[in-house]
Amino acid sequence: MYLKAAPGRVIRDPVFLDLLPPEGRDVPDSPYWQKRREDGDVVFATPPEEPAAASEHDTQSRAD
């Protein structure tokens, strides 16, 4: 699940031992994160879009 800190909150990630980034992070659905959600410390977030994969046409080398 993808979560980010609720406004005004700073949350430590117990796996990475750092702060949850402002844009959020994909985290396991564990009791730790469930408790953070129940307490209102984190909220669901939308993951950033992955850059589109290069099309086959763009990746072919040109022989011109």
> What's the whole-model pTM score?
0.74
Domain enclosing residue 40, as ranges: 2-48
How many domains does one find in the chain? 1
State how far the Cα of 41 lies from the Cα of 7, in Å rounded to an integer.
8
The reply to whether 16 falls in a domain is yes
Residue among 29, 38, 33 at smallest CA distance from 13:
33
17 within some domain: yes
Rounded-to-integer distance, Cα 44 and Cα 1, Å? 8
Q: What's the confidence (pLDDT) of residue 51?
A: 78
- At 41 the pLDDT is 98
pLDDT at 12: 97
Length of the chain: 64
Give the pLDDT score at 24: 97
| Among 38, 40, 15, 52, CA closest to 25 | 15
Q: What is the pLDDT along the chain (64 residues), one digit of tens a residue?
A: 999 999 999 999 999 999 999 999 999 999 999 999 999 999 999 999 887 665 555 555 555 5
